[in-house]
Structure 1
Amino acid sequence: MTVEQFATRHIGPGPDDERRMLEVVGHGSIDELMDAAIPEVIRWHGTLDLPDPATEAETIAELRALAARNTVAVSMIGLGYHGTHTPAVIRRNVLEDPAWYTAYTPYQPEISQGRLEALLNFQTMVTDLTGLATANASMLDEGTAAAEAMTLARRASKSKSGVYVVDADALPQTIAVITSRAVPLGIDVRVLDVQRDELPAEFFGLHLQYPGASGAVRDHAGLVQAAHAVGALVTVAADLLALTLLRAPGEIGADIAAGTTQRFGVPMGFGGPHAGYLAVRSGLERMLPGRLVGVSRDADGNPAYRLALQTREQHIRREKATSNICTAQVLLAVMAGMYAVYHGPDGLRDIATRTHAMAARLAAGLRAGGVDVADVAFFDTVTATVPGAAAEVVAAAADRGVNLRLVDADRVGVSCDETTTDAHLTQVWAAFGVPAFDGDVDAALPVDLTRTSDFLTHPVFRSHHSETAMLRYLRRLSDFDYALDRGMIPLGSCTMKLNATTEMEPVSWAEFANIHPFAPDAQTVGYREMIGQLESWLAEVTGYDAVSVQPNAGSQGELAGLLAIRSYHASRGETHRDVCLIPSSAHGTNAASAVMAGMRVVVVACDDNGNVDLVDLDAKIDKHRDALAAIMVTYPSTHGVYETGIASLCAKVHDAGGQVYVDGANLNALVGFAKPGKFGADVSHLNLHKTFCIPHGGGGPGVGPVAVRAHLAPFLPGDPLGAHVDATPAISAAKYGSAGILPIPWAYLRMMGAEGLTRATGVAVLAANYVAARLRGYFPVLYAGNKGLVAHECILDLRPLTKTTGVSVDDVAKRLIDYGFHAPTMSFPVAGTLMVEPTESEDLAELDRFCDAMIAIRAEIEQVGSGAWPAGDNPLANAPHTAAMVSGDEWSHAYPRSVGAYPAGVDRAGKYWPPVRRIDGAYGDRNLVCSCPSPEAFED
């Protein structure tokens, strides 16, 4: 194997294909193309300072060496992160299966029914266990879920108070994230011992932990009543495994439940990725942030799943959006939901009972040995008091291969989980200096806190408990879906490219998967070295001085970058700078993030060519010069163009005292050819799930690192266990965010090297221009830059055809399913258009297959326009066509069955059949059903 081989495997077109594509585009070489496309004022002509590319085998060997420097200890630290057994059938057939991890967010629901059903299982699991009406399809982690609960409570509460009360027994990292999020919003967070301290006279929300960080399980019913009496909403951050034995939050009147599903089969991963959850009582469902899976119906009236209500609300409401989160943790939510399906209610209850029994046995042994154990009800965690000796006990346990929690100089926390064994307890007793215990133990929880209600009653949780049944269920669902393992997903702004197996493989290694985020530094040397290398490589690629990988989504990276700017201005005594300029074409999360950072959004117009209108920019700068904090721009632009005015834009903002934020969503068009940190930007977030090959996983996980120039480096996200929120806020619950998937971009960068990365960018831009050149005569390309070139994506304008024929962008998108494709991005950034991003990973045959399909669809549109096919009854209006539809006994349509079933160029032997026909979205929003429907709903 040569050092060039991985790049040739990652990049689809070979040399001959490149020559053919360049001929169509009209350039002699990729360098010539890039010189023509990228403005010379920002063009970088150097060579990236990266290690020479390694082979796949060498990369795995290097990662093995780094992994070996980590210590996989028995983790009994707790604090929301627990050891768990991932069922092998779920690990192999979800986490490690490209049918699940290469799928995109289910915005085309007809070809996403499998993962939508899996997410509906997740939502049902959460609502059943929490006793609340509606849950969303996952949050980023427990800390951010709790922060979203706080802002939800503020919106929904009738109280005029700005005070939010947090129980001192909440998880410390959650307190850090809540406090960090509250500061720019002007919310007064008060951390109180709610068992002893008097509640304020007025407050809009109350956050309780159940069980507490100390392990205590308390009756919160009285606190809920007290909060409701003053118009406040109550959030209970609940452990879902504990809720199989403990009374549900909804049963004591809680309004919101938040938390994590990590211990449902998802490895700790040094902090993530994990699927957080958020559930609400009836009446709050339309305020719920994030994604919500609902049940609607298709064109035949059959039940069908789709994303409902506020999905992508940021694009609609922008600065009025209630949250900047436009993603989820779908892959991990699928794992957690399948863990519940596989074990069922009885299995989960058994795991919880055994976990509690281990904790009870641990406590009994400590007490028998004379150790003072807190005399409170507990589920899985006990707090022991050893005056002045806590550090010694923790060290003694670590010497025995067990990690405990150092609460303070006098107290030690010990948490049990489903992986805890008698041998582990023996080591813990020894660390405390007490003998092993073999007496009888009463493991009963207090009767008044014990759960009596049933849960997970739907048949899906009672039907797949053998491995055979589970395997077939997972296969059935994945067969319903379209992912990159089937074909091209040409989504503009989303960069759906190869997620190489070699990059994915290390994610499952125990040395990366089974590390607690608060493990001692001596046990995480390899992890931190890998992260340090990755951060330095990302800094080199982008031209910045420092990088933090803590943000666990692009939206969180945006927020981190804006908070860094806010803190920078404050450090200079310029707290009055609070205006953020945002072009009208920007991604919707930009405006939402600016508001969350405490900034006022001022929109800058775009000109007829889609570029930032520099005349309007001058006017807005002049109007807000003294208050200008920042501008947020995407480069290349959201319209897929290398704007020539970017350097001038940066200079104008800097001259007015503002900072420049460049959204890194389109970095795949820059790597090796331009560096934002060198052409005038001060900060960017990077989407590692786009440019750097972390898979989209059906809508998550993602990582959104924030990269900054040196003057902003002191204001990067802080450690949630030690963050000073006024200067270095915690963005996520773990210091390194979703560290468990960072081996993926590390491996990508290591194997590609400077030359491979640069070539990937060039081929991505070549592919987009090739598609634009082939389709320009059939669909107008809406925007272009220098010499008519686009960047890494192009926008096809369907509006003229819609006006003359009535065929909509939705019709074309659904018809592409019949041709075997996922549709490009619909109606963003311009309504009635398709934005196509082919990436560097698709070979010429697949690019041509897509272009041929689009050309064939153009001919079909002509048939509608000419009247040969009726406007309401044609292959586009009826798309997508299911197998059941075209094989039915009756066919009354104005076109042959074969045209609907097998469009030109489709491989009949390998055709993908969608499981449902076109879905009625409006019906689903009017008749909101967000948990598993009964089997009778599917009866004909």
Structure 2
Amino acid sequence: MSNQTPTLAQLEQPFDFVRRHIGPGQPEIAAMLDTIGATSLDDLMEQTVPAKIRLPEPLNVGKAETEVDALTQLKAVASKNKVMRSFIGMGYTDTHTPNVILRNVLENPGWYTAYTPYQPEIAQGRLQAILNFQQVTIDLTGLPLASASLLDEATAAAEAMGLAKRVSKNKKANAFFIADNVHPQTRDVVETRAEMFGFEIITGPAAEAPDHDIFGALLQYPGTTGEITDISDIIAAVQSNKGIVAVAADIMSLVLLKSPGELGADVVLGSAQRFGVPMGYGGPHAAFFATRDEYKRSLPGRIIGVSKDTRGNPALRMALQTREQHIRREKANSNICTAQVLLANMASFYAVYHGPVGLKVIAQRIHRMADIFAKALQQKEIGLLHNTWFDTVGVVVDDKEAVLKRAIDMGLNLRADLNGAVGVTMDETTTRNDIDALLKVFLGDDHGIAVDDIDAIVTTQGSQSIPADLNRTTPILTHEVFNKYHSETEMLRYIKSLEDKDLALNHSMISLGSCTMKLNATAEMIPVTWPEFGKLHPFAPLDQAQGYAEMIAELSEWLINITGYDALSMQPNSGAQGEYAGLLAIQRYHASRGEAHRNVCLIPSSAHGTNPASAQMVSLKVVVVNCDKDGNVDLADLRKKAADVAENLSCAMITYPSTHGVYEETIREICDIMHEFGGQVYLDGANMNAQVGITSPGFIGADVSHLNLHKTFCIPHGGGGPGMGPIGVKKHLEPFLPNHTVIKIDNTGDDNGAVSAAPWGSASILPISYMYIKMMGGEGLKKATEVAILNANYIARKLEGHYPILYKGRNGRVAHECIIDLRPLKEASGVSEMDIAKRLNDYGFHAPTMSFPVAGTLMIEPTESEAQVELDRFIEAMIHIREEIAKVESGEWDATDNPLHNAPHTLLDICDNDWNRSYDRKLAAYPVPAVARNKFWPSVNRIDDVYGDRNLICSCPDLDSYREMGE
């Protein structure tokens, strides 16, 4: 052993983040390489990845930084943002996130690292929180059916237009009406969607909607400039012409206002941001969406429904799952894949914590601030745009620029896009001092008005700013859950009780193929809640967001280098939105060349369901390309179908490595064929975790890709959202990237519409990916890819003697995921992939991806973050389950009386005095010794999906309903 004194660099090495992120250490890597028969990671890459697509140069994203240094540097960048008091409104307001929710939900990996609740038996906690969100939506909107959240208010409005077209009885109409008092960013997104669907958009005063032959209309309540009007007659008139009416509403105003459902609306939507979720420069925020029960089959997104388990106890699940894209594909209602579950949970907890009384007080206080401000201006004979409002007052001014400058000088942001007026929107953080400062802006420093004096006048005279017939008279949030957790102690315990029902990454590996459930490091998450990032309004003047601009620019440069593209748009706020934005760019590119007729999209049969669903959103015709027996795209079939539609060929959507988990040797040829026939190549970024530092879409030859920042780049899944799906493009597509009507974006077409409500999508979670790349550096990112591939091949090698590995690439290798084929076992034993998935719950694991891309299989993706000990624990579980299947095969266990068929087992099962099964309780609950060391108990037994769909309940049932179901 050398006695040489270590260098400073060697002493600093233990603090390297790369070794924290990558699970296996060097000894484990060496052992796993030996197991699979590779001499090194380089050797494994040579065996696995086709040589012609391996990058010749290393990534150029800088060296790895320590957590401390990276946080210090990002804090310096964040400090360049100017956090001003925001009165801009337009659907975004400041809010107080209750600290019990901030610490125990937003900052808690038990909530933010969970996956979409496809395995409901181990997801009852967040399912209950989302059900609460649906109940809030139902109560406030006055409509009976609510979804589990959408991406933002603007995209929810676009989805409402799609629903209107599907269900309207005015089948011949092709026009959609948007009232001119709808938020401008909402109009922008809806108009973009309409352009691709070929719908005509008509804009004008809301009262003119019935004058047009339309299939639907979008109204705002209150209007974007604050006015509150009774829209019931307008709604009725449009409906009498067989049109569907959607109303975009402010969620806090609905605490005081008559619900849009009572006014007759068919759809009500909006943002739940002001229910305790920071503005975050635009997101992520949960949109709410409600409609009539008869439209449930046309509802976009997910619905959480109440069903029952095998013991007859109430249990929650995602209902009507046949609407999901991976099943319905191009026939899906939408391409929506990611909801905003974490943010919907926060909003629902906000409603639970404050309850109906607390929410009313908050709403009344906001409204009172607006009344005081308006009354003071009226006393000084300052003109107002309207005489009704909830929180927004439009002030008529002679010299708008001077007013705005005075406001800026005093640290206040006002709405600046109104003709001859400025907008002022109050929120729950508004104080008396804020009102005094606002009055100084409009009346001068010596205005001589005391806020308390004006308050006394308003109290005496009563508020007239909400029309009497539009005051809410119906009760809200009467369910018990909103009326019992109002102390912090009780709220803390309620949140914890739900968290304990959910399996997340803080408990065990989640080996979902194609979903990349990897470490979401604490150092990456910390900046999300910095006020420098969280408190900025998305439409704040750009000189106040220099920190964001610098961070986004640097992150964009890194992602451009990683993808091999030339330009990037950060606007898409989910992977599915990225697909949509990428296809939009392709279609706009074709149109610019006089080839707007190109409308055919080739998609392999193995593709993600969002691919064909996204294609139909831009009116592309989907032609399915066959795959060969090894799971690769059938090159001959691709060439034939490309040639058959050559004149109309728009693009192909290809996933790489393939959805089957292998590096296809012919990927360059696929790109060449598409380009030969005038098409573009959309390379789905879902499997980017097997590319970073090894290859790239641009180097392969693709034209556009989206990046799932919530997969490859460490933004957590949040129980089913948030997500981010920025798109990278080659130079020729850059002019066709999304723009924005409120904040113009450089280097793209002025007339390009938006795909999300905010210019840079869900900007407040971009620091997560920024920190990940900053701390990993180029070498670390490449090593992460290599170890992800190593881990997948290690699992494949260890399991291949027990289960068939369905697809392999060169030298018998898989990429970053592997598929095990359960169909022969099912045929021999009757044990299904569902049985195995549920039995894994008993071993403390979330099931791998089930029956995708091939029915009757499990797709396993371990990621680079899982250490060998966790991989071995999962392998032990899978081998032990195989031994259990063998007992069913041999007849030792009955076909139904066995732990696989009855899985998962709950504590109620194990404690049941009437246990009458042929196998031991200990075997049911503790099948291997490792389980006993960290037992996770599923909170319900296997759920009856058929019962849940036949008896759709998407609101919180009363306690009697729960008791009756359990009888």
TM bracket (short chain): over 0.9
Query: Shift of the alpha carbon at 1:81?
Result: 0.1
Aligned to 2:255: 244
Contact 1:290-1:310 within 8 A present in 2 as well: no
Matched, 1:298 2:309: yes
Write the distance in 2 (CA, Å) between the matches of 1:744 and 1:300. 42
Give TM-score, length-normalised by structure 1. 0.99
Cα deviations by residue, 1:382-407 (Å, 9 ceiling, x for unpaired): 111113x1121111111101100013
5+ residue gaps, structure 1, are none
Query: Shift of the alpha carbon at 1:423?
Result: 0.8
Aligned to 1:276: 287
Matched, 1:133 2:144: yes
Query: Shift of the alpha carbon at 1:936?
Result: 2.3
Query: Shift of the alpha carbon at 1:890?
Result: 1.6
Query: Shift of the alpha carbon at 1:24?
Result: 1.2
Query: Shift of the alpha carbon at 1:200?
Result: 3.4
More deviation, 885-894/853-862:
885-894
Aligned to 1:428: 438
Query: Shift of the alpha carbon at 1:312?
Result: 5.9
Aligned to 1:462: 483
418, 421, 427: which one aligns with 1:417: 427
Secondary structure of 1:257's partner?
Answer: strand
Matched, 1:842 2:852: no
Aligned to 1:170: 182
Aligned to 2:4: none
390, 393, 403: which one aligns with 1:393: 403
Query: Residues 708 and 198 of structure 1: is their aligned pair in 2 closer, same or farther, counting only changes over 3 Å?
Result: closer
Matched, 1:449 2:470: yes
297, 300, 313: which one aligns with 1:286: 297
Cα deviations by residue, 1:307-345 (Å, 9 ceiling, x for unpaired): 011466211111111100012000000000000000000
694, 698, 706: which one aligns with 2:727: 706
Contact 1:391-1:409 within 8 A present in 2 as well: no
Aligned to 1:779: 803
Aligned to 1:65: 76
Matched, 1:145 2:156: yes
Aligned to 2:502: 481
Matched, 1:581 2:593: no
Matched, 1:766 2:778: no
Write the distance in 1 (CA, Å) between the matches of 2:322 and 2:687. 22
Query: Shift of the alpha carbon at 1:599?
Result: 1.1
Secondary structure of 1:207's partner?
Answer: strand
Secondary structure of 1:474's partner?
Answer: helix
Contact 1:141-1:275 within 8 A present in 2 as well: yes
Matched, 1:11 2:22: yes
Aligned to 2:5: none
Query: Residues 311 and 84 of structure 1: is their aligned pair in 2 closer, same or farther, counting only changes over 3 Å?
Result: farther
Contact 2:282-2:537 within 8 A present in 1 as well: yes
Write the distance in 2 (CA, Å) between the matches of 1:375 and 1:237. 19
More deviation, 103-112/233-242:
233-242
Cα deviations by residue, 1:247-293 (Å, 9 ceiling, x for unpaired): 00110111000100000000000000000111001211221110110
Query: Shift of the alpha carbon at 1:725?
Result: 8.8
795, 800, 821: which one aligns with 2:845: 821
Query: Shift of the alpha carbon at 1:74?
Result: 0.6
1:615-654 correspondence runs (5 A): 615-654=636-675
Cα deviations by residue, 1:681-708 (Å, 9 ceiling, x for unpaired): 0000000000000000000000000100
Cα deviations by residue, 1:778-810 (Å, 9 ceiling, x for unpaired): 110100100110000000000000001000000
Aligned to 1:738: 762
Aligned to 2:694: 673
Secondary structure of 1:406's partner?
Answer: coil
Write the distance in 2 (CA, Å) between the matches of 1:578 and 1:725. 22
Write the distance in 2 (CA, Å) between the matches of 1:887 and 1:430. 69
Query: Shift of the alpha carbon at 1:142?
Result: 0.2
327, 332, 351: which one aligns with 2:343: 332
Aligned to 2:6: none
Cα deviations by residue, 1:885-930 (Å, 9 ceiling, x for unpaired): 0111121111111110110133324201111000011110010000
Amino acid at match of 1:125: V
Matched, 1:322 2:330: no
820, 827, 831: which one aligns with 1:796: 820
Aligned to 1:886: 910
Matched, 1:218 2:239: no
173, 176, 180: which one aligns with 1:161: 173
Contact 2:306-2:952 within 8 A present in 1 as well: yes
5+ residue gaps, structure 2, are 1-11
Cα deviations by residue, 1:605-658 (Å, 9 ceiling, x for unpaired): 111111000010011011001111101000000111100000001001101111
Secondary structure of 1:473's partner?
Answer: helix
Cα deviations by residue, 1:98-140 (Å, 9 ceiling, x for unpaired): 0000000000000000000000000000000000001100000
Write the distance in 1 (CA, Å) between the matches of 2:308 and 2:70. 48
Cα deviations by residue, 1:206-227 (Å, 9 ceiling, x for unpaired): 1110011010000001101101
Contact 1:3-1:54 within 8 A present in 2 as well: no
Write the distance in 2 (CA, Å) between the matches of 1:204 and 1:722. 31
Number of residue-to-residue matches in the alignment: 938
Query: Residues 311 and 90 of structure 1: is their aligned pair in 2 closer, same or farther, counting only changes over 3 Å?
Result: farther
Matched, 1:186 2:198: yes
Secondary structure of 1:290's partner?
Answer: coil
Cα deviations by residue, 1:733-764 (Å, 9 ceiling, x for unpaired): 00000001000000000000001000000000
Secondary structure of 1:452's partner?
Answer: coil
Amino acid at match of 2:873: R
Write the distance in 2 (CA, Å) between the matches of 1:311 and 1:520. 44
Write the distance in 1 (CA, Å) between the matches of 2:169 and 2:905. 49
Secondary structure of 2:13's partner?
Answer: coil
Query: Shift of the alpha carbon at 1:202?
Result: 1.3
Contact 1:256-1:280 within 8 A present in 2 as well: yes
Query: Shift of the alpha carbon at 1:53?
Result: 1.2
Write the distance in 2 (CA, Å) between the matches of 1:237 and 1:671. 41
Aligned to 2:590: 569
Secondary structure of 1:294's partner?
Answer: strand
Aligned to 1:522: 543
Secondary structure of 1:552's partner?
Answer: coil
319, 333, 352: which one aligns with 1:341: 352
Query: Residues 772 and 312 of structure 1: is their aligned pair in 2 closer, same or farther, counting only changes over 3 Å?
Result: farther
Write the distance in 1 (CA, Å) between the matches of 2:690 and 2:278. 34
Contact 2:524-2:768 within 8 A present in 1 as well: yes
Aligned to 2:61: 50
Contact 1:312-1:326 within 8 A present in 2 as well: no
Query: Residues 786 and 643 of structure 1: is their aligned pair in 2 closer, same or farther, counting only changes over 3 Å?
Result: same
Aligned to 2:7: none
Contact 1:274-1:329 within 8 A present in 2 as well: yes
Matched, 1:362 2:373: yes
Secondary structure of 2:201's partner?
Answer: strand
Write the distance in 2 (CA, Å) between the matches of 1:857 and 1:908. 17
Query: Shift of the alpha carbon at 1:374?
Result: 2.2
Contact 2:743-2:759 within 8 A present in 1 as well: no
Query: Shift of the alpha carbon at 1:470?
Result: 0.2
Matched, 1:116 2:127: yes
Write the distance in 2 (CA, Å) between the matches of 1:2 and 1:937. 59
RMSD: 1.2
Secondary structure of 2:136's partner?
Answer: helix
